[in-house]
Structure 1
Amino acid sequence: MKTKTRISIFWYRRDLRLDDNAGLYHALKSTYPVLPIFIFDQNILEKLNDKKDRRVAFIHQALVEIQEKLAVLGSTVIVKYGKPATIWQEILQEYDVAEVYTNHDYEKYAIERDREIGTLLNAKGIAFYTFKDQTIFEKNEVLSGAGTPYTVFTPYSRKWKETLNDFYLKSYPNELYNHNFFQHAIIEMPTLKEIGFESIIGEVFPKKDIREELIRKYDELRDIPSILGTSHLSVHLRFGTVSIRKLVQKAIRLNEKWLNELIWRDFYMNILYHFPHISEGKSFRKEYDNIIWRNNDLEFQKWCEGKTGYPIVDAGMRELNKTGFMHNRVRMITASFLIKHLLIDWRWGEAYFAQKLLDFDFSANNGGWQWASSSGCDAAPYFRIFNPTSQTQKFDPELKYIKKWIPELNSFDYPKPIVEHSFARERVLKVYKEALERK
Structure 2
Amino acid sequence: MKPTVNIIWFRRDLRLQDNAALYHALKSSLPVVPIFIFDTNILDRLEDKADRRVEFIHIALADMQQQLVNLGSSFEVYYATPLEAFQVLLAKYSIEKVFTNHDYEQYAIDRDAQISHLLQEHGASLHTYKDTVIFDKEEVVKDDGKPYTVFTPYSRKWKTALQPFHLKAYPTENYFGNFYKQAAQPLPSLESMGFLAVGKPFPGKELNTQMTTKYQEQRNFPAVNGTSHLGIHLRFGTISIRALANQGKGLSETFLNELIWRDFYHAILWHFPHVRAGHAFKKEYEAIEWVNNEAHFYKWCEGKTGYPIVDAGMRELNATGYMHNRVRMVVASFLTKHLLTDWRWGEQYFAQKLLDFDFAANNGGWQWAAGCGCDAAPYFRVFNPTLQTEKFDKSLQYIRKWVPELDSFDYPQPIVPHEFARKRALEVYGKALKGGTAG
Normalising by structure 2, what TM-score? 0.98
Q: Distance in 2 between matches of 1:48 and 1:127?
A: 31
Q: Distance in 2 between matches of 1:236 and 1:385?
A: 32
Q: Distance in 1 between matches of 2:28 and 2:431?
A: 60
Deviations 1:92-124 (A, max 9, x none): 111232221111111000000000101111111
Residue 151 (structure 1) aligns with: 149
Q: Distance in 2 between matches of 1:40 and 1:408?
A: 41
Q: Distance in 2 between matches of 1:100 and 1:267?
A: 28
Q: Which residue identity does 1:27 align to in structure 2?
A: A
Q: Distance in 1 between matches of 2:139 and 2:165?
A: 13
Q: Distance in 2 between matches of 1:277 and 1:52?
A: 32
Q: Name which of 102, 105, 108 aligns with 1:104.
A: 102
1:128-143 mapped onto 2 (5 Å cutoff): 128-143=126-141
* Deviation (angstroms), 1:304: 0.1
Q: Distance in 2 between matches of 1:62 and 1:421?
A: 45
Q: Name which of 21, 24, 27 aligns with 2:25.
A: 27
Residue 313 (structure 1) aligns with: 310
Q: Distance in 1 between matches of 2:94 and 2:341?
A: 53
Q: Which residue identity does 1:61 align to in structure 2?
A: I
* Deviation (angstroms), 1:380: 3.8
Q: Name which of 53, 66, 84 aligns with 1:55.
A: 53
Q: Where do 5+ consecutive residues of structure 1 fail to align?
A: none
Aligned residues: 436
Q: Which residue identity does 1:171 align to in structure 2?
A: A
Q: Determine if contact 1:234/1:359 at 8 Å carries over to the other structure.
A: yes
Secondary structure, counterpart of 2:36 in structure 1: strand
Q: Taking every aligned residue pair, what percent have the same amino acid on both sides?
A: 61
Q: Distance in 2 between matches of 1:387 and 1:99?
A: 54
Q: Which residue identity does 2:210 align to in structure 1?
A: E
* Deviation (angstroms), 1:379: 5.2
Structure 1 position 405 matched with structure 2 position 367: no
1:68-107 mapped onto 2 (5 Å cutoff): 68-107=66-105
Q: Name which of 12, 15, 18 aligns with 1:14.
A: 12
Q: Distance in 2 between matches of 1:360 and 1:343?
A: 23
1:329-368 mapped onto 2 (5 Å cutoff): 329-368=326-365
Residue 229 (structure 1) aligns with: 226
Deviations 1:181-201 (A, max 9, x none): 11111110111111111111x
Q: Distance in 2 between matches of 1:77 and 1:214?
A: 36
1:387-402 mapped onto 2 (5 Å cutoff): 387-402=384-399
Q: Determine if contact 1:371/1:380 at 8 Å carries over to the other structure.
A: no
* Deviation (angstroms), 1:40: 0.5
Residue 284 (structure 1) aligns with: 281
Q: Which residue identity does 1:23 align to in structure 2?
A: A
Superposed CA RMSD in Å reads 1.1
Residue 242 (structure 1) aligns with: 239
Q: Determine if contact 1:102/1:130 at 8 Å carries over to the other structure.
A: yes
- Alpha-carbon distance change, 379 to 59 in structure 1, aligned in 2, over 3 angstroms: farther
Q: Determine if contact 1:312/1:392 at 8 Å carries over to the other structure.
A: yes
Q: Distance in 2 between matches of 1:229 and 1:253?
A: 18
Structure 1 position 206 matched with structure 2 position 203: yes
Q: Distance in 1 between matches of 2:201 and 2:343?
A: 30
Q: Determine if contact 1:134/1:240 at 8 Å carries over to the other structure.
A: yes
Secondary structure, counterpart of 1:8 in structure 2: strand
Q: Which residue identity does 1:322 align to in structure 2?
A: A
Secondary structure, counterpart of 1:145 in structure 2: coil
Secondary structure, counterpart of 1:437 in structure 2: coil
Q: Distance in 2 between matches of 1:121 and 1:280?
A: 26
Residue 323 (structure 1) aligns with: 320
Q: Which residue identity does 2:50 align to in structure 1?
A: K
Q: Where do 5+ consecutive residues of structure 2 fail to align?
A: none
Q: Distance in 2 between matches of 1:423 and 1:376?
A: 25
Q: Name which of 256, 259, 272 aligns with 2:256.
A: 259
Normalising by structure 1, what TM-score? 0.98
Q: Determine if contact 1:372/1:380 at 8 Å carries over to the other structure.
A: no
